[in-house]
Structure 1
């Protein structure tokens, strides 16, 4: 760890991750709630979500559009590096430095010039997207406002070739990452999921399915609300049925069941191993959850 920078009156030491083949970790808050666009097309319409004492407002700019669930791979990379370093007794920081190759290979993308341009576009969306939320705030009337990346810059050589990227994470995200109770290991095959819907669904299922010995279920209207999707419920259910038919989520088995009152629920159970390779157990008991 070398160097430092002053940001908003704070001295931040530069954290240079060294891990490549390490476990992928995700922040539970980001897995549970609608923070990202699930579409590959540009989204400008805000996400305005309320459920109980949780309020989330996500706003995008017309220039860049809202940060997408694919852009969130960069945050998964950052969380994974911070947790790995912390677990090995190393100091970490919100100020991080890495090469584009290190980030792209971790999230299973090639290191072509096109991928690098897409990486920079993702960083722009993460910086320009603003979030206001009551999550992890001491009072419901208090909201924390931030962007996924406070600032970022690229370093180039004399020929204009990329040498590396520096970025500063927001306090809200960093605090959630260094709290071990708020982090989960995810299957690296998550990065191979192509659809935004199935990526979002995997994170939600991983958060709530976990290592539970019993299955869980969601009412479809409730699930639609939690997605933050602009897709009408009818289209949402159609897409969900397609995912259940394909079974693409690593480590989980999905099913749709109809209750006696004709209400349809999505149920899911872990398969023989969980994302960290620890044996789990199948069980017939299911519980419905309302979050």
Structure 2
């Protein structure tokens, strides 16, 4: 049985969902923001993430051919979440079978839209499809685990002359359920896509998930953050990089600070009050108004 036949057989059981190409808010699944599901490095990672904390267990495994899905690859899943939530809120039907053009995904995630960017997108889809996850999150018991890939299947759609028309992908039940539930999704700042460092991107998602818009913000021990990151770097290196991020203050919408309590280094973060007009501008990709002039 060919890959095309396999995809067609699976797709027959699902209605095709075509997302909108209009400018929409970026949304992220809270479970993906809070836990270590992705490699934070651009270099190929094949060593598994094996994370356990209380009743939460996560095992992420990669293939030698493609390597583990990265936090940059996760931009595709943010696009998926944003499209599903937008349609759901408008009362439109959604599905795990999603059609899109590469241009729509690349433009939404603020990537280039040339041939090289398209090839990188296809490589990201391959990593998302080949990365295997087993987790107890949202399962009835700590010993019960749901196993899936970020993308069950995907394919290019071509015309009679072999020219690309778009792509179709099938996302797993676990991810679909995470974004169709209003309580499990958060809006993120579109400036997130401009963050270049994997650790910065991961930290923004943690901060957005836990800090929200609370006046008092939130804080974590650096050692606890290191555990939750799933990063391969040792704690000493991780702490050094955290200090560098605090000096740069790159996270949109948040102020970071470090302090020491009982001999432990702790990262605190608090939301920066924003003008609603600036929020509207960022949603359509415009920078906030410079109030210093």
Q: Which runs of 5+ in 2 are unaligned?
A: 1-6, 281-293
Work out whether 1:263 is the aligned partner of 2:287. no
| Residue 287 (structure 2) aligns with | none
- Distance in 2 separating the partners of 1:19 and 1:176: 22
| Residue 273 (structure 2) aligns with | 272
Alignment of 1:189-268 (within 5 A): 189-259=191-261, 261-268=262-269
- Distance in 1 separating the partners of 2:129 and 2:259: 41
Q: CA deviation at 1:274?
A: 8.9
Cα deviation digits, residues 158-216 of structure 1 (max 9, x gap): 44332100000000000010000000000000000000000000000000010212121
| Residue 286 (structure 1) aligns with | none
Alignment of 1:54-93 (within 5 A): 54-93=56-95
Worse-matched range after superposition: 16-25 or 248-257: 16-25
Q: CA RMSD in A?
A: 1.7
**What TM-score do the two structures reach when normalised by structure 2?**
0.90
**What TM-score do the two structures reach when normalised by structure 1?**
0.91
- Distance in 2 separating the partners of 1:166 and 1:40: 25
| Residue 147 (structure 2) aligns with | 145
Q: How many residues align?
A: 273
| Runs of 4+ displaced beyond 6 Å | none
- Distance in 2 separating the partners of 1:199 and 1:105: 18
| Residue 103 (structure 1) aligns with | 105
| Residue 165 (structure 1) aligns with | 167
- Distance in 1 separating the partners of 2:246 and 2:275: 19
Q: What SS does the corresponding residue of 2:24 show, helix, strand or coil?
A: coil
Q: Which runs of 5+ in 1 are unaligned?
A: 279-291
